[in-house]
Structure 1
Amino acid sequence: MASTRPVNRPSVRHPSHTHPLRVCKARGEDEMICSGCELELTGQAFKCAKSDCDYFLHKSCFDLPRELSHKSHPDHSLTLHHSSPYGQPYTCDACGEYGSGFTYHCSACQYDVHVGCAFIPENVKREDHEHPLTLLYNTPCKGREDGAMFICDVCEEDMTENLWVYYCKECDYGTHVHSCPVHENHQPKKREREASLEALRMQSLMAAQDELAAMRIRDNIKNSVIHFGDEPRYKWVYE
């Protein structure tokens, strides 16, 4: 099991859990799952101080802001929920995958985003494409009257129009927001695809933690709504 040796402070409280949490160092071979993002627990983390309670949190999930303004949903802010607001698993409006842990939620629109998906980068570079890909908050086929579906150029699966996509306009090339693996005959293996999604979300959460720390130091902001990114200067228009 992961070491529960205290670091700096013996225990802390988090609103997502009724018991105190202790700092621990998680190893990959422990195969523990974060109760927040539902991904494998690695690195600095927290575990429930009660030995019979399997509640764990990444340090990055522990530090998530309670409220978030996000470009994907500009009309309303998103509030962090520590469990599904529906009493059953929710569907992430970014990647289309299910979730039952933490979510950023808009109650007015029933809009939900995994905490990992909320912080994915706006631009990525894939080894199998020559240009950088830009994050869009719906597929380029949204609103087409002919009912055409956008197809991921890596796994060749149809994508519903409201899903987020990484896209190269110059080449009309796009992929799911998680990193689709390339396989023989273009048939994705579920286990490897889930592993790619997990790695991307974890990287995004770690980057979010670093960004939060830098913003607090630079602006001396405490107990306030944190905004990520500037407003877009233009919108893509597809005809």
Structure 2
Amino acid sequence: MCPLTLSSHLHPSHPLDLVYLSLGRVCDLCRKEVCGLYYRCEPCGFDIHPLSTDLPVTVEYAMHPHPLLTLRCDEPRKCAVCQHVCDSWRYTSHCKGCPVDVHLKCALQEPALDRRTRTAPAFSHHHGSCR
């Protein structure tokens, strides 16, 4: 059962209220239409699917040599996995010399099963000095 009010790291400014009438609303994280229940910040117009509120703040990504990618919304950049533009929330590295951006879907997908080993999606990575 979803709580009526929720605090979230995804929108720390205000608590989110559970709403049922979607009326064409779009989830600010995944950009898909919300149907049924969703959380909303009325003052900011921030809408999010209930399941999206459980997304981790950080993830480890096997194809990036540095430990964590952090969930954030920033200017559009290319996804390192699928090569499509990330124009909303995504996981991104903190590294200045080797920036990596990965769509939510691409970062959280299960690794592909190879004949002998499990492998994550490959992308090119140019290692620089990271701080």
Asked if TM exceeds 0.5, the reply is yes
Task: Spell out, residue by residue over 1:100-153, the C-alpha distance to the aligned partner (whole angstroms, 9 max, x if none).
Answer: 3221111212101111211223348xxxxxxxxx86523xxxxxxxxxxxxxxx
Q: Which position in structure 2 is the counterpart of 1:95? A: 82
- For 2:112 and 2:20, locate their aligned partners in 1 and report how far apart those are by CA, in whole Å: 31
- For 1:81 and 1:44, locate their aligned partners in 2 and report how far apart those are by CA, in whole Å: 23
| TM-score, length basis structure 2 | 0.70
Where does the alignment leave 5 or more consecutive residues of structure 2 unmatched? 125-131
| TM-score, length basis structure 1 | 0.42
Give the root-mean-square deviation of aligned CA atoms: 3.0
- Greater strand content: 2
1:21 paired with 2:16, answer: yes
Pairing of 1:42-191 with structure 2 (within 5 A): 42=35, 44-48=37-41, 50=42, 53-73=44-64, 75-84=65-74, 88-108=75-95, 109-123=98-112, 137-138=121-122, 162=124
- Greater helix content: 1
Cα deviation for residue 54 of structure 1 reads 2.4
Give the aligned length: 119
Percent identical residues: 23
Task: Spell out, residue by residue over 1:158-194, the C-alpha distance to the aligned partner (whole angstroms, 9 max, x if none).
Answer: xxx74xxxxxxxxxxxxxxxxxxxxxxxxxxxxxxxx
- Deviating above 6 A after TM superposition, structure 1's stretches of 4 or more consecutive aligned residues are none
Do the aligned residues in 2 keep the contact of 1:12 with 1:22 (CA within 8 Å)? yes
Do the aligned residues in 2 keep the contact of 1:21 with 1:47 (CA within 8 Å)? yes
- For 2:111 and 2:66, locate their aligned partners in 1 and report how far apart those are by CA, in whole Å: 20
Q: Which position in structure 2 is the counterpart of 1:10? A: 4
Cα deviation for residue 21 of structure 1 reads 0.6
SS at match of 1:72: coil
Where does the alignment leave 5 or more consecutive residues of structure 1 unmatched? 1-6, 125-133, 139-160, 163-239
Work out which of the two has the higher radius of gyration on C-alpha atoms and give 1 or 2.
Answer: 1
